[in-house]
Chains A and B, each alone.
Chain A
Amino acid sequence: MEDRSRDRYGGLSSRELWFWLSTLDVIGPVSLNRLLGVFGSPEGIWTHHAWSGADAWNGDHDMPCVELNPKQIKELGDSKLEPEKIAKKLAAIEKDGIAFIGRNEADFPGKLRSLPDCPAGLFVKGSLPMPDMPMVAIVGARSCDEYGRQMAEYFGRELASHGIGVVSGMAAGIDGESQWAALRSGGYSLAVLGSGVDICYPRSNYNLYEQLIRDGGVVSENVPGTIPQAFRFPMRNRLVSAFSDAVLVVEARERSGSLITADHALEQGRDVMAVPGRVGDQLSEGCNRLIRQGAVMVTCFEDVCEVLGMDFSEPKNLREAEDEERKDHDAEWMKIIEALSSTPSHIDNISEKTGIAISELMHDLLLMEMRGVVRQVCQGQYVKLLFPDR
């Protein structure tokens, strides 16, 4: 019986049929869901006569019942021609250590099922988060500045060390920083890629990519081998927000991909949070606008907990933490700390503000850098660490 039914579908199992749907590229997730709505299952789509053979849709115009255009119909027909290749391809992918999870399977993340554009399947390297793990997406600008870097690091670290998973896109800048911080503090982090999971993009994050596979997860809806293309990233962003319970935007310019993620989050019913920035800072314009539009403004980990409805500790604000730090040092250090901010200041300016001679200042700053109070972001330029890592 089993064998006979498989014959009808080119010898493919149900799992392989879901994989077949995942490999379709011209047919996006929305069209796919419409097809599934009409035909009920991948098996239904496979056996429909319209794609190929004598009865094939002639391809002159759109197919009204499923609203497919000729190109999409052609893709369906062509992809069916060699069923044994589909099975072989899935086997090869799994041999490479990439797991395929079809939508029909039990481990398919529940958070994604309700999406109107839910993917047919996911490709995973590493592991997916436990179903009950709270997840927060941290997203932001690729060319971030020191303030954003510190914020991403802080939130990544604090969330992950409290058992909250960090979802992001493994991009340069905010994404990568927050994921690094999460992994470093021993927590879980998930990267949703716009390319295939076997392609590390950007290349500069290769170390992060490897560590994510080891201690976290890398996931994509695209078939392995898919190269990163600009149009895939907005699609990817919908999954970043879908995997999370709330989205935190750290730094975003006025026109930013992170805002697309925030829009998806709202559509999907996730909370949107934003880290405020100074008026006039281009890198914070997007965040500040989100806050104006009603996003929750967060300045510390406890604020995020509140949004998630969790409670870890009594709130301790930034000011107190800083004061505590300051008590340990003498007046000179305090003078230097006061002259610093999260925007890089050059040693010349610090010297001017504090009245300390350059050579002495270099000595103090070196000690402070080693104590983790300040950081040298580039030769001679220092920032104060907002959340000293103790």
Chain B
Amino acid sequence: MYSKVKTLMIVGIEGLVVSVETDVSAGLPDFSMVGYLSSESKEAKERVRISLKNSGFQLAPRRITVNIAPADIRKDGTAFDLAIAVGILISYGIISSDRCKDIAFLGELGLDGRLCPVHGVISMVAAAKDEGFHGVIVPKENAREGSAVEGIKVYPAASLGNVVEMLSGNEELDSYAAEHWVAGQEERKYDVDFSEITGQAAVKRAAEVAAAGMHNIIMVGPPGSGKTMTARRLPTILPELTQEESMEVTKIYSICGLLPPGRPMMLTRPFRSPHHTISASALAGGGAVPRPGEISLANRGVLFLDEFPEFSRASLEVLRQPLEDRRVTISRVKGSYSFPSDCMVVAAMNPCPCGYYPDRDKCRCTDYAVRKYLQKISRPLLDRMDICVDMPAVAYSDIIMSRSVDVKQEDSAAIRGRVMAAWERQKSRYKDEGIFFNSQLTNSQMERFCHLSPAAESMMAEVYRRMELTARAYHRILKVARTISDLSGEAVISEYSLAEAVGYRGLEQKYWG
């Protein structure tokens, strides 16, 4: 007898509904599976056969054929197991197909018939909802994650036996009580705060500006000056994730199996800090079946690249296109996959191989060595770093200050307040432009939105001439100046905002020439 049940798979970061067709007929006893399966999907055959037996179903030897359609998309993952098992049981007439009509099945089977959790549940449940399904049966461990999708019922199950029971009865199924996971509702759980950084006023200010306009930032400083410390605290001053953003981030984490245990949704902005030995494909995403890379995992958050010049040239260069398009597109023969990569890149580096330049008492690197070190970063990549700040070594007075109770450092919440106000201003200004942040401004948009006050105008002219700026540097300064003005609520860019933006320009003239 023929049967057809629905399950889902992941393509990119979205779910795709696929059908599991099963036919059981007379002939030599056999169990074959077709439908362009990857090896982990092919192995479902053994898992399903034995878990059926161990769940107490004595199936007569017949010729069983399973097809997973559409047959031209490569199937990978282990989430098909449950649907195959259910399909076989329907074909044998053990359960009725009526109950399965509007339901999709997800889950991997153990040999003892238990249902094991799978990755990417939230994307698949969301896709099922879009396809008009009434409910999805998922492993009970995935129920909380699945229930984050509104408008579809999620039925948790512990084992194959459990599922069969559910489908054999007549009563209404128990759906998982959807917890209302709203981004920002739950108390923000960052274990770090900006108030822990003493001194370093210039860098804190630069971090605030970077956050306000989602500008990429590069920090240069000697070892131990607090580059990593600052970077870790950057997500804490970014405004909270919206519901949509939270869903997007959760999907990516779900696919990679990186959701924190006990947390069905990503409610805080991600912070990714890959080691500098990372390969190009691990950073941007890749693989025979493309998976999101670090830059996509940092989507809507911060990608921190410590020891920037130590990353391999190939890894760094691969960042260029995703930084521009805010999306990674990976092409394979069987189609192209696209992952969002809308993140803020925070890079940290030493000014020279020993780290102490320009302190010539400590640093004996030759000018050549210093230049060589800086030149490891290519010019095009540097052009995408809007803000460049230098961090001084921590002074003793700063250490002392952190001990005294009287001096209160500003905490992340206060900075976040200002950043949020700047975000609001940008949002209302760019509502018809399809962009959100000053960092995304194109040159023509800049002409329309970045107006300089007369004083700033004449200052810009002088700066351009005296500092021999390039057109690119000019545009970068303008974008950052726009953000600084947004922070202080100016409609027109003042000379103070402009001067500060000029101060954040990279010193490419000097070192990166």
User: What residues of A have a CB within 8 angstroms of the CB of B503 in the complex?
Assistant: 347, 362, 365-366, 380
Q: Which residues of A contact B499 (CB under 8 A)?
A: 359, 362-363, 366-367
Q: Is B500 an interface residue (CB 8 A)?
A: yes
Write out the residue numbers on chain A whose beta carbons fall within 8 Å of the beta carbon of B486. Answer: none
Residue of B nearest to A203 (CB): B368
Contact with A along B455-473 (1 / 0, CB 8 A): 0000100110011000000
**What distance in Å separates the Cβ of B93 from its nearest Cβ neighbour in chain A?**
75
**Segment at the B interface, from A87-95, A140-148, A191-199, A235-243:** A140-148
Q: How far is the CB of B303 from chain A (nearest CB, A)?
A: 21
A380-B510 CB under 8 A given contacts A172-B368, A362-B499, A363-B499: no
A358 contacts the other chain (Cβ, under 8 Å)? yes
The reply to whether the CB of A348 lies closer than 8 angstroms to some CB of chain B is: yes
B379 contacts A by Cβ under 8 Å: no
Contacts of B205 in A (CB 8 A): 358-359
A379 and B203 alpha carbons, distance in the complex (Å):
11
**B357 at interface by CB-CB < 8 Å:** yes
Segment 273-331 of B: residues with Cβ below 8 Å from A? none
Chain A residues in 8 Å Cβ range of B361: 281-283
Q: A residues within 8 A CB of B407?
A: none
Q: Is A116 an interface residue (CB 8 A)?
A: no
Interface residues of B in 113-144 (CB under 8 A from A): none
A378 with B366: in contact, given A344-B358, A367-B499 (CB under 8 Å)? no
Count of chain B residues with Cβ under 8 Å from any Cβ of A?
A: 42
C-alpha spacing A365/B496, complex, angstroms: 11
Q: Indicate whether A349 reaches chain B with its CB closer than 8 angstroms.
A: yes
Chain B contact surface mostly: mixed
Interface centre among B462, B496, B499 (most CB of A within 10 A): B499
Give A142 to B369 CA distance when docked, in angstroms. 12
The docked-state distance in angstroms from the alpha carbon of A382 to that of B345 is 27
Q: Is the beta-carbon distance between A363 and B500 smaller than 8 angstroms?
A: yes
Residues of chain A within 8 A of B266, CB atoms compared = none
- Tell me the smallest distance from the CB of B210 to a CB of chain A, in Å: 14
In the complex, whether A31 has a CB less than 8 A from a CB of chain B is no
Q: Does A114 contact B (CB under 8 A)?
A: no
Judge whether B496 and A359 touch: CB under 8 Å: yes
Q: Is A204 an interface residue (CB 8 A)?
A: yes
User: For the complex, what is the distance from the CA of A144 to the CA of B205, rounded to whole Å?
Assistant: 32
Given contacts A202-B368, A366-B459, A378-B358, 18 further A-B contacts (CB under 8 A): A142-B366, A143-B365, A143-B366, A172-B368, A204-B368, A282-B360, A346-B202, A346-B392, A348-B392, A358-B202, A362-B499, A366-B463, A367-B499, A378-B507, A379-B220, A379-B389, A379-B390, A380-B390
| Residues of chain A whose beta carbon lies under 8 Å from any beta carbon of chain B | 142-146, 172-173, 202, 204, 281-283, 344, 346-349, 351-352, 358-360, 362-363, 365-367, 370, 376-381
30 A-B contacts (beta carbon < 8 Å):
A142-B366, A143-B365, A143-B366, A172-B366, A281-B361, A282-B361, A283-B360, A344-B358, A348-B199, A349-B392, A349-B395, A351-B201, A352-B397, A358-B201, A358-B202, A359-B500, A360-B496, A362-B502, A363-B499, A363-B500, A366-B463, A366-B502, A366-B503, A378-B357, A378-B507, A379-B220, A379-B388, A380-B389, A380-B392, A380-B503
